[in-house]
């Protein structure tokens, strides 16, 4: 079983807390992206990133000094978004790190498919960015089926905790024998069940922590997740979508 999770825009360097355990598998393609980014002027990159001057300057400077092979941070500690804050890997036990290293894969527009302990450098790049690299029309085209190959294991079971922007990188290449299970977090609003972005991100991080702490090996084990007020809705869930509702 594999779990997929989106990255986060905000990143940090932490070379002291934990050592890395290997390099990203698709690093040669990352080098192509890095070379392409470095060839672009500041204003073009700012437009690509869709950010203010402060963030653009920070990431422009990062590009100039970026080394993909030294001074690296384990991916799981590098991302600082809401999901990662609620996952709280900084207080994981050794067995929890072993679990996520075996089961969790982080999808990245810059690195492709990451194991949690792969060494990474901070970057800014979203999968939806209008980047035409190596003759490809966009980053989905550039990565092709590489992310799917990096995610799938012999079980063919993939638990989807990623956003649509990233999960579509996998869904396009699924085989009939795969079991792709999307986990949906929602709550009732005006008589309808809706997903609220911030709570969903929080829940995704909590779900990874729950699975690691309970060493979940089968998808059935997810159903007992009850963090942040969420409860499994057996009545509206299916084999391809598990729905959890938060009572507000």
Q: What is the DSSP string of 2-35?
A: EEEE---S-B---SSSS---S--TTHHHHHHHHH
- Helices marked H in 180-221: 197-213
Q: For residue 62, give Cα distances in angstroms to 34, 38, 161, 187.
A: 11, 10, 29, 39
Query: Within 10 A of 172 (CB to CB), how many other CB atoms are there?
Result: 12
Return the pLDDT at 198.
92
Return the pLDDT at 119.
98
Q: What are phi and psi of 230, to 5 degrees?
A: -80, 150
The owner of tokens 């970026």 is 66
Return the pLDDT at 189.
86
Question: Among residues 94, 104, 123, which one has the least CA distance to residue 162?
Answer: 104
Return the pLDDT at 237.
97
Q: How does strand 241-246 pair with strand 179-189?
A: parallel
Q: For residue 165, give Cα distances in angstroms to 20, 107, 131, 193.
A: 27, 10, 15, 21
Question: Among positive and negative, which fits the CA dihedral 81, 247, 196, 2?
Answer: positive
Return the pLDDT at 84.
97
Successive 10-residue mean pLDDT values, the chain, 248 residues: 96 93 97 97 95 94 94 96 96 96 98 98 96 96 97 97 96 97 93 89 97 97 96 96 92
DSSP three-state, residue 149: helix
pTM: 0.95
Return the pLDDT at 197.
85
């Amino acid at each position: 079983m594999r779990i997929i999770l989106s990255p986060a825009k905000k990143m940090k360097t932490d070379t002291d807390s934990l050592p890395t355990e290997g390099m990203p598998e698709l690093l040669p393609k990352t080098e192509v992206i890095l070379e392409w980014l470095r060839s672009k002027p500041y204003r073009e990159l700012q437009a690509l990133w869709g950010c203010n001057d402060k963030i653009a300057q920070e990431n422009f400077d990062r590009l100039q000094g970026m080394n993909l092979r030294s001074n690296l941070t384990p991916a799981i500690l590098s991302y600082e978004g809401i999901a990662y804050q609620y996952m709280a890997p900084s207080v994981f036990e050794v067995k929890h790190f072993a679990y996520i290293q075996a089961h969790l894969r982080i999808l990245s527009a810059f690195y492709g498919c990451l194991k949690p302990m792969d060494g990474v450098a901070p970057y800014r790049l979203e999968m939806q960015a209008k980047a035409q690299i190596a003759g490809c029309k966009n980053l989905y085209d550039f990565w092709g089926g590489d992310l799917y190959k990096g995610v799938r294991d012999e079980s063919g079971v993939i638990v989807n905790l990623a956003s649509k922007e990233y999960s579509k990188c996998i869904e396009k290449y699924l085989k009939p024998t795969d079991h792709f299970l999307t986990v949906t977090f929602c709550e009732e609003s005006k008589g309808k069940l809706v997903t609220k972005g911030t709570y969903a991100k929080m829940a995704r991080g909590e779900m990874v922590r729950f699975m690691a702490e309970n060493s979940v090996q089968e998808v059935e084990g997810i159903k007992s997740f009850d963090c942040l007020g969420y409860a499994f809705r057996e009545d509206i869930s299916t084999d391809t979508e598990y729905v959890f509702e938060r009572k507000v």
